[in-house]
């Protein structure tokens, strides 16, 4: 233990007794892994490089210019002309909490499309914010029909409808077509979770009448975790501005965060913008704009089909019954009778350095999950995943 310099030692204060044990003064090293689970995926090298640029102050004009570029990129990605877009500082869950905290007032009714773990979590969150929660249940792997949604809206006349576009715990892809008209008929606002679907499948914020949506940085967007893309429509903003009660969360109050992102014609400090994380997001959004959404969507769809075909040749089946309900970014594969799913996952990691995930929530123990996320959605990666499955299944004599 080094001596405490005289000028730091104040009377009555102890000297440090807890010393670093394992933290040695050498640059951090981590193993290089191919992340083919439901997220995070590997970030694009240009995104990682952008994150190493020198810090700017969070209120410096050059940083505001970067925030403007991010908002431009988000409008393209969301297919919206809304001025009210930003990044929530935090992961997908922070986006989820911001959506509920701002759009729902205590005592209001929210109908939650609930076909997996994300619907369950929104039910939990909405109840914490004082909502009257109606869970619109569907079996894992299924999606809600427009008729089921309409009937629930007619019956409950909720202030809010929540749907998850890509249910990454089950691999189901919820259609949003026609939902806005059903919502309009009841004066209901539509919130959509797009954390693992945005960028992989078509999403039209304006044309589909979405009032509030959130996503995540570490899935298809191919940046590290820590930024949640977020949008309010004009109606969503109106709801925020006309609330009878204060937003219960200070950290997620969009009146304040929006004022940092220039929603109200000025810039006020709410919290320190996540400077390096947002550099990375600027780069990720530039990459998406350059590739173009149609190409991005097609790349994911094509590789999803290659993956399913390759796994079918090994005797594996998709968990989601109807092919139109299958999410292309997070693929759920049934674990056959008698196969140890965890051994296949472990073998893939130990031998191939590739991450394949097991199930989550309602699919735990029943499926594997394979992510095709943005930068990682490449043919050679899909082939490696298939090889890892073949090897793992052979070891268990499921394959000869």
Interface with ligand PLP by CB under 6 A: which residues? 39, 91-93, 118, 164, 166, 168, 193, 195-196, 216, 225
300, two tokens: 């994911």
**Of all helices (H) and strands (E), which one includes residue 5?**
none
State the Cα–Cα distance between residues 93 and 100, nearest whole angstrom: 11
| Cα gap 188→99, rounded to integer Å | 14
Output 88 or 382, the one with its CB closest to ligand PLP.
88
Judged by beta carbon, residue 237 or residue 327, the one nearer ligand PLP is: 327
Please choose, from the candidates 338, 355, 354, 344, the residue with its C-alpha nearest in 3D space to the C-alpha of residue 393: 344
* Residue nearest ligand PLP, CB atom distance: 92
Q: What is the Cα–Cα distance from 258 to 252, expressed in whole angstroms?
A: 10
CB 61 to ligand PLP: min, Å: 30
DSSP single-letter state for residue 39: S
Half-sphere exposure of residue 399, counting CA atoms within 13 Å on the CB side?
Answer: 16
What is the nearest approach in angstroms of ligand PLP to the Cβ of residue 260? 21
Burial of 78 by CB count in 10 Å (0-12 exposed, 13-18 middle, 19+ buried)? buried
Q: Minimal distance in Å, beta carbon 355 to ligand PLP? A: 14
Output the smallest distance, CB 118 to ligand PLP, in A.
Answer: 4
Sign of CA dihedral 38, 380, 395, 140: positive
**Token digits of residue 392:** 């793992």
Measured from the CB atom, the residue of 119 and 131 that comes closer to ligand PLP is 119
The tokens describing 335, both together, are: 């674990």
- Residue 12 corresponds to which tokens in the numbers above? 């009555």
Say how far residue 97 (Cα) sits from the centre of its chain: 13
Sign of CA dihedral 251, 255, 260, 261: positive
Smallest distance, ligand PLP to C-beta of residue 117, A:
8
Nearer to ligand PLP (CB atom), residue 133 or residue 237: 133
Of 56 and 111, which has the nearer Cβ to ligand PLP?
Answer: 111
The residue (of 243 and 271) whose beta carbon lies closer to ligand PLP is 271
Q: In angstroms, what is the minimal distance from the CB of 305 to ligand PLP?
A: 21
**Distant-in-sequence, close-in-space partners of 156: CB < 8 Å, separation ≥ 6:** 109, 111, 134
Nearer to ligand PLP, 371 or 392 (CB): 371
| Least distance to ligand PLP, CB of residue 314, Å | 26
Q: Which residue, 93 or 267, has its beta carbon nearer to ligand PLP? A: 93
d(CA 101, CA 246): 10
- Supply the minimum distance, in Å, between the C-beta of residue 242 and ligand PLP: 28
Q: Which is nearer to ligand PLP, 118 or 389 (CB)?
A: 118
Pure H helices in the chain: 45-50, 61-78, 92-103, 117-128, 146-156, 179-186, 234-241, 254-260, 275-291, 293-312, 341-352, 379-395
Residues contacting residue 139 through CB under 8 Å, at least 6 positions apart: 115
Least distance to ligand PLP, CB of residue 36, Å: 15
């Amino acid at each position: 233990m080094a001596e405490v310099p005289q000028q730091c030692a104040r009377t009555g204060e102890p000297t440090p007794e807890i010393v670093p044990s394992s933290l040695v003064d050498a640059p951090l090293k981590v193993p290089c892994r191919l992340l083919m689970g439901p997220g995070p995926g590997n970030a694009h090298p240009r995104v990682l490089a952008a994150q190493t640029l020198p810090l700017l102050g969070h209120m410096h004009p050059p940083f505001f210019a970067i925030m403007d570029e991010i908002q431009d990129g988000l409008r393209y990605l969301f297919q919206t002309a809304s001025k009210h877009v930003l990044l929530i500082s935090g992961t997908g869950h922070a986006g989820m909490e911001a959506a509920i905290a701002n759009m729902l007032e205590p005592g209001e009714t929210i109908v939650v499309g609930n076909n997996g773990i994300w619907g369950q979590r929104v039910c939990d969150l909405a109840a914490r914010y004082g909502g009257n929660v109606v869970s619109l249940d569907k079996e894992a792997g299924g999606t809600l029909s427009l008729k089921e949604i309409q009937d629930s809206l007619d019956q409950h006349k909720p202030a809010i409808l929540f749907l998850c576009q890509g249910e990454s715990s089950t691999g189901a892809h919820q259609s949003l077509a026609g939902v806005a008209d059903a919502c309009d008929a009841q004066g209901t606002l539509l919130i959509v979770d797009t954390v693992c679907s945005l960028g992989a499948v078509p999403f039209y914020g304006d044309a589909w009448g979405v009032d509030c949506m959130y996503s995540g940085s570490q899935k298809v967007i191919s940046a590290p975790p820590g930024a949640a893309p977020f949008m309010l429509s004009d109606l969503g903003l109106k709801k925020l501005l006309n609330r009878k009660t204060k937003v219960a969360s200070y950290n997620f109050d969009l009146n304040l965060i929006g004022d940092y992102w220039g929603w109200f014609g000025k810039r006020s400090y709410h919290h320190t913008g996540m400077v390096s994380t947002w550099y990375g997001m600027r780069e990720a959004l530039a990459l998406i704009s350059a590739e173009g959404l149609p190409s991005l969507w097609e790349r994911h769809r094509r590789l999803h089909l290659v993956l399913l075909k390759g796994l079918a040749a090994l005797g594996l089946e998709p968990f989601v019954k109807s092919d139109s309900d299958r999410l292309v970014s997070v693929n759920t594969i049934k674990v056959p009778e008698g196969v140890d799913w965890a051994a296949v996952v472990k073998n893939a990691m130990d031998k191939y350095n590739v991450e394949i995930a097991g199930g989550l929530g309602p699919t735990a123990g029943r499926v594997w999950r394979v992510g095709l996320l943005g930068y990682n959605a490449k043919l050679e990666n899909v082939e490696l995943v298939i090889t890892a499955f073949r090897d793992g299944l052979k070891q268990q004599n499921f394959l000869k």
